[in-house]
Amino acid sequence: MNFAKVLVANRGEIAWRVMRTAKAMGYRTVAVYSDADREAPHVSFADEAVRIGPSPVGESYLSIDRILEAAHKSGADAIHPGYGFLSENETFAAACEKAGLVFIGPPPAAIAAMGNKAAAKRRMIDAGVPCVPGYQGADQSDANLEKEARKIGLPVMVKAAAGGGGRGMRLVERDADLSEAIRTARTEAESVFGSGELILEKAVVDARHVEIQVFADAHGNVIHLGERDCSVQRRHQKVIEEAPSPAVDADLRHRMGAAAVAAARAIGYRGAGTVEFLLGADGAFYFLEMNTRLQVEHPVTEAITGQDLVAWQLKVAAGEKLPLTQEQVAFSGHAIEVRLYAEDAYAGFLPQTGRIDVWRPAGGTGVRIDHGMKDGLAISPFYDPMIAKVIAHGATREEARSRLVRALRETVVLGPTTNRHFLIRLLEHPEFAAGKATTAFLGRHEFPAPVIDDAHWQLAANLLWRQSAARYPETLRGWRNSNPEPTPIRLAVGNSERLLHVMGSEAIDAVPFHIDGDDIVVDLDALTVRFTDKTYAPPAAAAAGSDGKLRAPMDGKIVAINIAAGDSVTRGQTLIVLEAMKIQHQLKAALDAKVESVAVKEGQQVSNRTILVTMAGDAPAP
């Protein structure tokens, strides 16, 4: 299984991260890129790069034929899939092997065994791995699933059998919500995974999400590298990951590790994998699923073990034995990772798109930032909006947490709205700081949008004035034939406007900011706000949507249109479903009205602020 040139069938930070290790081990590297990623850092970092198609994933990163064609064209003899995209696709793994390429991942049969949650769970039950009570049977009718859910007892989780990443998943706590949860989970699963098969599981309330990193080679050796706690989640997607788990002691680690190893052995596993468990408050743990790939959060395991997991993947793929035995695995300190996203955490985690104008990742002792970013690179609507993974390691959990907060505060990212301020609030929350956070953490606590204080408004105005004044000769700045007068500057954030006055003599401490046309993005105390200069613009319009025009809140694809011209609609009614960055967003009417026209069709790709529906007046009373 010798190979010399590795093609990374992925993009962004994971592509760049895999290439760094591959190069360090002496391998040549090949990047692939879509049109949207032509200028991405992973493309220029690779020894070679091959274009694989336009921006949509189905025509580029999810195209098996185009990936294999790129390997043939470049002379690559091995493929690393990264995570996401084709990384857990048994058809892709088999196609690589058929083409004579080394697939740096598990055998196709192992991927298939864990690719369907229902089949995987049945297999784990046979292997003696503890599983959550539930239903994973063949009768998939809505009526039967409702019957089985009531038999299990609410609360219950409805899950896409072929799913991952929180897609096609619904928590049902009331019987009245059961039918709708099954219907919407199935619809989403069919859209995202091409399969509407569902499973049901008893919801383990206030549990922790704890996963075990396993590794296996082709010589029969299977070990684990400890656990990661991924309990802090939004929409069933991880926000914070740490190792080790604050809730796991040595005995529990041994038992969970043994169960994870048994799971890997049961399917003839090879390479890096993660076995995910729910850990109840009583210490009982239950198998959830196995991810047959490298995880986003693998850096925290690397930090506490001192091992390079990508190097392990490459060695195992080359036919070598695992570098360590179970007895040789040692842990040191604590590590925490957060996912820095282009999203508005205070508006339902709405994904954001646009150009990153300024990117300055923090450094310092114990800090690692994995990213695929640079100044001027755009967050595309075609892919996941993750900007970077920020990781901190320390001798203790508190040292790691403090270092991570500092790293987030010192990281500068100006452009689209990000979740950086929100992440700091999570890390500083007393419950998380005490190591007590469970999967109920975000649902239990409110994190309202921060108030933009007077200092932030005034700072933005002062910076705009200073930038404007810099265009004139120093001898003319501030010159008047009378006493100095304040300069009025009108700024807006969303629907809020303020008239500020600038004297021009105010001292301005060093602060990250960027001016983009009429906008100025200012970072003050980790809160980044985009202000718009409205000094010479007409007064603010009415509240968004209340003008009778429903606009796209971001770039995306129209997947459902629920109304037609002539329909009467009520405030809060879902009119359009827009899919962006793997999430479906329900766009609702802002007022009671009558639909005049619908400007889009299902399947159409639209840009941010595109007018989708035009409405007029109040709808007539029924």
Residues 426 and 372 in one domain: yes
Q: HEC string of 499-560?
A: EEEECCCCCCCCCCEEEECCEEEEEECCEEEEEEECCCCCCCCCCCCCCCEEECCCCEEEEE
Domain finish residue from 270, 293, 324? 324
Residues 214 and 167 in one domain: no
Q: How far is CA 86 from CA 9, 97, 107, 109, 160, in A?
A: 8, 14, 14, 15, 18
Q: What is the structure's pLDDT at 620?
A: 44
What is residue 42's three-state secondary structure? helix
* Own/partner pairs, 580-583, CB within 8 angstroms, 24+ separation: 580/351, 580/353, 580/381, 580/554, 580/555, 580/556, 581/351, 581/381, 581/383, 581/384, 581/385, 581/556, 582/165, 582/167, 582/192, 582/384, 583/235, 583/351
Interatomic CA distance for residues 8 and 11, integer angstroms: 8
Residues 30 and 175 in one domain: no
Q: What is the residue whose two structure tokens read 């007029």?
A: 616
Q: Is residue 500 part of a domain?
A: yes
pLDDT range class, residue 538, cuts 50, 70, 90 = low
The burial of 255, by beta-carbon neighbours within 10 Å (0-12 exposed, 13-18 middle, 19 or more buried), is given as middle
3-state class percentages of the chain: helix first, strand second, coil last, to nearest 5? 30, 30, 40
Q: Which of 133, 166, 273 is nearest to 212 (CA)?
A: 273
The DSSP H or E segment spanning 303 is helix 298-305
Q: What CATH number does the domain containing 73 carry?
A: 3.40.50.20
One-letter amino acid at 41 equals: P
Residues 429 and 344 in one domain: yes
Q: Is residue 448 part of a domain?
A: no
Q: Is residue 561 part of a domain?
A: yes
More confident residue, 621 or 496: 496
Number of domains comprising the chain: 6
Residues 274 and 350 in one domain: no
Confidence (pTM): 0.84
Residues 93 and 111 in one domain: no
Residues 315 and 286 in one domain: yes
Domain finish residue from 324, 350, 380? 324
Q: What is the structure's pLDDT at 383?
A: 93
81 pLDDT higher than 60: yes
Q: What is the structure's pLDDT at 505?
A: 67
Q: Helices in 367-396 by DSSP H: which ranges?
A: none
Q: What is the residue whose two structure tokens read 């080679």?
A: 217
Q: Which residues have CB under 8 Å from 43's CB, separation 6+?
A: 31, 33, 37, 49
Residues 409 and 478 in one domain: no
Domain finish residue from 533, 558, 593? 533
Residues 121 and 236 in one domain: yes
Q: Is residue 544 part of a domain?
A: no
Q: What is the structure's pLDDT at 79?
A: 98
Q: What is the pLDDT of residues 445-459, one digit of tens each?
A: 999 999 999 999 999
Q: Is residue 542 part of a domain?
A: no
484 pLDDT higher than 80: no
Q: What is the structure's pLDDT at 589?
A: 86
- The mean per-residue pLDDT over the stretch 72-79 comes to 98
Q: How far is CA 399 from CA 281, 335, 392, in A?
A: 26, 9, 9
Percent of the chain with pLDDT over 90: 76
475 pLDDT higher than 50: no
pLDDT range class, residue 622, cuts 50, 70, 90 = very low
Q: What CATH number does the domain containing 192 carry?
A: 3.30.1490.20
Angle at 145 (CA atoms; ends 144, 146), nearest 5 degrees: 90
474 pLDDT higher than 80: no
Interatomic CA distance for residues 108 and 385, integer angstroms: 29
Q: Helices in 25-159 by DSSP H: which ranges?
A: 41-45, 64-74, 90-98, 108-115, 117-126, 142-152
Q: What CATH number does the domain containing 599 carry?
A: 2.40.50.100
Domain of residue 46: give its range.
5-104
Pairing state between β 48-53 and 28-34: parallel
Q: What CATH number does the domain containing 258 carry?
A: 3.30.470.20
157 pLDDT higher than 70: yes
- The mean per-residue pLDDT over the stretch 260-286 comes to 96
Residues 154 and 110 in one domain: no
Q: How far is CA 20 from the centre of its chain?
A: 22
Secondary structure E strands in 292-353: 334-341, 343-344, 350-351
Helix axes 108-115, 90-98, angle to 10 degrees: 170
- The mean per-residue pLDDT over the stretch 299-308 comes to 98
Q: What is the pLDDT of residues 607-617, one digit of tens each?
A: 877 899 999 86
Q: How far is CA 581 from CA 57, 237, 347, 379, 419, in A?
A: 11, 13, 16, 10, 16
Q: Which residues have CB under 8 Å from 492's CB, separation 6+?
A: 498, 531, 532, 534, 540
Q: What is the pLDDT of residues 392-405, one digit of tens each?
A: 999 999 999 999 99
- Average pLDDT, rounded, for the chain: 91
Interatomic CA distance for residues 48 and 142, integer angstroms: 50
Q: Is residue 177 part of a domain?
A: yes
Q: Is residue 543 part of a domain?
A: no
Percent of the chain with pLDDT over 70: 94
Q: Is residue 622 part of a domain?
A: no
Please tell me what DSSP assigns to residue 39. Answer: T
Q: Which of 538, 525, 540 is nearest to 494 (CA)?
A: 540
Residue 268 half-sphere exposure, CB side, CA atoms within 13 Å? 7
Angle at 118 (CA atoms; ends 113, 119), nearest 5 degrees: 30
More confident residue, 91 or 510: 91
Q: Which of 84-93, 94-103, 320-329, 501-510 has the lowest mean pLDDT?
A: 501-510
Q: Which residues have CB under 8 Å from 429's CB, separation 6+?
A: 437, 445
Q: How far is CA 184 from CA 158, 164, 172, 198, in A?
A: 10, 16, 12, 11
Which residues belong to the active site? 293
Residues 21 and 92 in one domain: yes
* Residue-by-residue DSSP string for 66-85: HHHHHHHHHT--EEE--SST
334 pLDDT higher than 70: yes
Q: What are phi and psi of 79, to 5 degrees?
A: -130, 125
Residues 116 and 87 in one domain: no
CB 66 within 8 A of CB 52: yes
